[in-house]
Structure 1
């Protein structure tokens, strides 16, 4: 999703984005698909991030919501690649004479090798001349999408318009009556001419008045189409939809009834590609723009139809309350986090790649405005494993030198599939584990009280090998008005896991933000936690991190969240892998001492891997159980924990 402008905010964003979540990636276990061909010229190498050169001086240090298309250059006979970004400043020095940031309306870049890019200007100028007639004067243009029509031999630039006129939305005085627009051009860099009507009008919400669903993030199926295709759009508030699309000589029109393809309150930023008889939908989840605590991540589902139903690797629908989605791209503990809003494409040799934005944990904000997240573009290879895409074989975003894609015909990338190592529990550490088979908690457990929590710990019982705990109305997230159940963790690398279920209804709204799960705990302000969480009409596995006030720099949030795989309607299995960091890995993590990788499972057999958070929780870090977060004081739920098992960690190569 495009960054919500530093100069404005949207209703619901603080509530939805703070708790809507992201995921991880399913661990590859079997055969990887072979690449199209291996003879040909070597296109060389690259390193992330991609930093397009500004001819007048400087680099493009932020390219959020990137999209990419190729076009032949008749003058040279080569392929020219074109990349477009959302409206944002280009870099730390991109301010006007008053020191205010310059918001470029869809910056455009070109390249002949997909590695070295040059900024060639903005799609639209500043001022009202750079907006459609039906846009409000203060509107921003977000999340571009570009396709070529073979029917009209024209290029079509789609974008989200954050604020439309009352003549379009039908309501005066609104600033979130957003819509999808389009402009056309004879060439991929313009000049662009706006269509005189939106492609998708503002969509009223149930609240009436200025309550509008979020109509952002357009995506058109195919880079080169005739006069029709499928259009996808939407975001957290309202969900992601698909509809048939008709192109005309001067614009485009959504012609069919919209179909929800991904549930609301979880996903945004759709990108759909076709491969081997399937349509793969890539979607981003959680907060796009939370500095070094951004847990934005990409999930994938597939369908035999462009309008779904889309399901994940284990058959979970992306429209279910237990929202399906196979983790595809997420932070792996290096300098890059908040990896999302990606575009997927094939290079000149037919190999698959993705360009996406991310956040550098060590340089998360524009220098002129702490809190304004900077999101450079990154490039990485896609490997297909048993019909499902992975980034670098499951290793995620890259640092260091990597084989470049084949940008021109006759080239072949030297990228080779290497599946990420498997992390698994090894030897059970009985002194740190508990099967809850007694009548009372054993002496290894201690209740830790938040500063503002009630005087007594939550009600809890042990019966038939299950610990049952009331879901508290307080929370550890900043307010510190909950209790946490803790026990000593082992030194070194280890795995902590539990099996948990709650009596929260399996569907329906709202039971915000009732949750239960496991984490690693320093104190009430320093921890990571993995919980089965109720978020509006969805049930998600939230994987979160909190830091203390002293760790938080200027503009920083203290809490960041991601999500992993869908929970089960019965028992959900949660696992945290803990690894010590040293040397370069510790430096990339800003000095953090440990990496914490979250995993979830619906059956205890097939595990989805998610974000690796890094943190410094001290030598006395503890295993923790969380049962908290219910915001409605009239609701009372319980959580059941079947066990806590702590094991040594075994890392082994993944078999093809």
Structure 2
């Protein structure tokens, strides 16, 4: 083997020395417009995505009426889409045909929320059943046919909430983990070696009102647990929001950017994606995919504000269903100061955006030929193959900040970038890098060298990082960080076999993405509007206030408006609580209060409203809500709810979203601009967590209001209500 390594190294130096001029030019930037599934399918909820070993991307969605606009009145079970660019998608069939449902499925079930992984030359697709339970299907191809492997997590499994919305993850030691749960707990457990059953204790890793859709990635030493809370699928009243916590262990504890544990009984900060009022409602249930430039993208569904609902459809379970349209969306995922956020905090995109990089500057999927790669490898059946120690290289070279990747299989298979080679050494059981720099990292004891893995070399300046994973889903099993020597100029890319048979596929290089380092500016309060404000420094509210249903217990004392919570409410038909209201200023404004609240029983709440009438308002409140599945446990929640008339049914509907933590003393803000209300909270009155937005149907009629309701026994103290102009951006 020593002679083989020496001769190969000499060959790599020769091809680097005679490389063509470096290729650095970018293609003209492509664009896309959400939803990327438009024109292909009507809806694609709960998407999962993978870059498959045939070089294409595949997406899998929840059972839904994907072709309703084409005249179909029923659903497709776990539909599949495929794409070569993450923007233009084609329908590729269903995981299960309606006529071929597994016989063991309980009556009335609809499969939900698929998750896709690749392991040991096999695609593993887990899915949940609407009646509870998690199942597995496997295939040698991302397009199927799929083999049913049965139930892998029963409904009763030690997690106190629903057994749905699962996602797998592979750790650096090769161990598989499963995350699942819904309404209102996410659980996790270690799996067996082949990922077909739970093999460790069930751990609760998150509590939150309507918390679900857990998805874990490993990055820079942290495990990031993405999840969604709020309502997923209630048309224009869906408050879905993507949030995140991180940990140094795959089983937690996970904490938010401000240090709140995901298991704490309060709502959470760490918002990754929320509605912004630009036409998209309830963005959530995410997966993550990385383009060829190394840029991450959040893949999710969202609801079109102006066309949110299907007509009644026949479900895959035979029932008549009223469903919400949730098409497939993608947006850039930025990592800023160690935390992920979509489009630097701008939220779901509307209009033309720069598209993912899905074409290499140099490289090939080898679908029909060796495509300019020459040397010791030959082309066979859509890949490069070598029967003994060999190397092949591209005709062109690359330099500068670059990302090189390739799929490899074999006992000593690898790829090269100029005078650097990265390869999988079965003899030492290590990922090895040698040439201009050298280093190594151990591979898991269970690592299968005869299964496809993706090697990635990422160069930014003098920093070179080499990693290997099975499926490019932020689950690297080995990473080698290195520093390139001064004057390193790059070179050609290539396929390598250090000994024995090797296969290399999907090999290419693209200029590395430029990361976004700064968040977009949050809204800011401008000049005070004293005529719409009250410091509560007298013995009664000032003259601008009036009551919708007088609350005789409300007093102004000690510089505060004191309101004991009432037994009534203003939710749907329960229009019995008092609302203290005053006119809102015309145009855009911010209204703020400092609230002290001691609620401990379910549904007690206090806060601000933008109020038209009892059936049309937006509420931002500190609410006490029950924790589903755990009797006697309650969550302190920042609740941001819209109530209005649903256009498709003409019925009054209410839908919640949830913001950051809700301590006993907190500051609340509502921003109103152009018919859109957006919420923010603070724990010090200085630093604000901005959350989602609701669109209002009659914004000109709104008044500013104060509420304290949902059950007697608690007291709300409002230090002031201040209204401001909005500071220009």
**TM-score normalized with structure 2 length:** 0.71
**Which structure has the larger Rg over C-alpha atoms?**
2
- Answer with 530-539 or 342-351: which moved more: 342-351
CA distance in 1, matches of 2:69, 2:705: 44
The CA distance in 2 between the partners of 1:499 and 1:609, in whole Å, is 16
CA distances 1:95-128 after superposition (whole Å, capped 9, x unpaired): 66xxxx322111011111000111110011214x
Match of 2:561 among 467, 479, 485: 467
- Cα deviation, residue 475, structure 1: 1.2
* Structure 2 residue 144 is matched with structure 1 residue 202: no
- Aligned partners of 2:275 and 2:693 also within 8 Å: yes
The equivalent of 2:123 in structure 1 is: 155
Residue aligning to 2:298: 354
Secondary structure in 2 matching 1:146 = strand
Q: Is the 8 A contact 2:599 2:605 kept in 1?
A: no
1:63 paired residue number: 44
Separation of aligned partners in 2, 1:91 and 1:388: 37
Residue matched to 1:637: 714
Aligned to 1:363: 307
Partner SS state of residue 266, structure 1: strand
- Taking the TM superposition and a 5 Å limit, the aligned residue runs for 1:500-649 are 500-505=595-600, 511-536=601-626, 537-548=634-645, 552-554=647-649, 558-568=653-663, 570-580=664-674, 594-630=675-711, 635-649=712-726
Structure 1 residue 81 corresponds to structure 2 residue 48: no
Q: Please give the secondary structure, in 1, of the residue aligned with 2:684.
A: coil
Query: 2: CA distance between counterparts of 1:308 and 1:39?
Result: 43
Query: Structure 2 matches for 1:321-340, cutoff 5 A?
Result: 321-340=265-284
- How much does 1:605 deviate? 2.0
- What is the aligned partner in structure 2 of residue 651 from structure 1? 728
- CA 1:188–1:284 in 2, change beyond 3 Å: closer, same or farther? same
Report the CA distance shift for 1:312/1:651 in structure 2 as closer, same or farther (over 3 A): farther
CA distance in 2: counterparts of 1:647 and 1:598, whole angstroms = 14
User: For residues 428-507 of structure 1, what are the structure 2 equivalents within 5 Å?
Assistant: 428-449=528-549, 456-479=550-573, 480-505=575-600
Task: Determine helix, strand or coil for the equivalent of 1:199.
Answer: strand
> Offset at 1:616?
3.6
Q: What pairs up with 1:7-156 in 2 under 5 angstroms?
A: 40-42=26-28, 44-51=30-37, 59-73=40-54, 79-93=55-69, 101-127=73-99, 129-131=100-102, 133-149=103-119, 152-156=120-124
Q: Over residues 400-425 of structure 1, what are the superposed CA-to-partner deviations in whole Å (9 max), with x where a residue is unaligned?
A: 11111112433459887474233111
When residues 538 and 306 of structure 1 are mapped into structure 2, their CA distance, relative to the original with a 3 A threshold, is same
Asked if the contact 1:94–1:102 (Cα under 8 Å) also holds between the matched residues in 2, the reply is no
- Contact between 1:203 and 1:213, CA under 8 Å: does it hold in 2? no
Distance in 1 (CA, whole Å) between partners of 2:651 and 2:238 is 10
Distance 1:645 1:545 in 2: 22
- Alignment gaps of 5+ in structure 2: 1-22, 314-320, 362-509, 627-633
Coordinate RMSD, CA, aligned: 2.4
- For 2:512 and 2:694, the matched residues in 1 are separated by 31
Q: Which residue of 1 aligns with 2:176?
A: 229
Q: 1:186/1:43 Cα in 2 relative to 1: closer, same or farther (>3 Å)? A: farther
- Structure 1: distance between partners of 2:262 and 2:638: 14
- Cα distance in 1, alignment partners of residues 599 and 578 from structure 2: 20
1:161-214 deviations in whole A, cap 9, x for unaligned?
A: 234xxxxxxxxxxxxxx1111111111121111224x221212799xxxxx841
Query: 1:644, 1:304 → 2: CA distance?
Result: 42
Match of 1:179 among 126, 133, 136: 133
Structure number with higher relative contact order (C-alpha < 8 Å, ≥ 6 residues apart): 1
- How far apart are the structure 1 equivalents of 2:91 and 2:581? 53
Indicate conservation of the 8 Å contact 1:243/1:257, yes or no.
Answer: yes
Shift of 1:60: 0.7
C-alpha displacement of 1:642: 1.0
Task: Give SS of 1:184's match.
Answer: strand
**Change in 2 beyond 3 A, CA 1:488/1:215:** same
1:137 to partner: Cα distance: 3.6
- 2:357 counterpart SS class: coil
Residue 397 (1) aligns with residue 348 (2): yes
CA distance in 1, matches of 2:720, 2:58: 53
Structure 1 residue 312, shift from structure 2 partner = 0.8
Candidates 422, 425, 441, aligned match of 2:525: 425
- Give SS of 1:540's match: strand
Equivalenced residues, count: 543
* 2:212 equivalent in structure 1: 268
Q: Which residue of 2 aligns with 1:3?
A: none
**1:189 corresponds to which of 133, 143, 147:** 143
Residues 126, 495 of structure 1: alpha-carbon distance in 2 compared, 3 angstrom cutoff: same
Q: Is the 8 A contact 2:534 2:541 kept in 1?
A: no
In structure 2, the residue matched to 1:242 is 188
Tell me the TM-score normalised to structure 1 length. 0.79
Displacement, 1:371? 4.1
Q: Assess, with a 3 A threshold, how the Cα gap between structure 1 residues 278 and 553 changes in structure 2: closer, same or farther.
A: same
Once residues 41 and 71 of structure 1 are traced to their aligned partners in structure 2, the CA distance between those partners, rounded to angstroms, is 24
Note the residue ranges of structure 1 that are not aligned, 5 or more in a row: 1-36, 54-58, 74-78, 164-177, 207-211, 450-455, 506-510, 581-593
Q: Aligned partners of 2:61, 2:71: CA distance in 1, in Å? A: 18
Contact 2:38/2:327 (CA < 8 Å) preserved in 1?
A: no
Match of 2:360 among 398, 402, 409: 409
Q: Distance in 1 between matches of 2:667 and 2:57?
A: 44
Name the structure 1 match of 2:162. 214
Following superposition, the deviation at residue 46 of structure 1 comes to 0.7
Matched residues in 1 for 2:514 and 2:328: separation? Answer: 19
SS state of the match for residue 431, structure 1?
helix
Task: Confirm or deny: 8 A CA contact 2:589 2:723 kept in the other structure.
Answer: yes
1:246 to partner: Cα distance: 2.2
Asked if the contact 1:271–1:281 (Cα under 8 Å) also holds between the matched residues in 2, the reply is yes
Give the 3 Å change call, closer, same or farther, for CA 336–618 of structure 1 in structure 2: closer
Q: State how far apart, in whole Å, the 2-side matches of 1:529 and 1:606 are.
A: 21
Counterpart mapping for 1:301-320 below 5 A? 301-320=245-264
Partner Cα distance (2:172, 2:91) in 1? 26
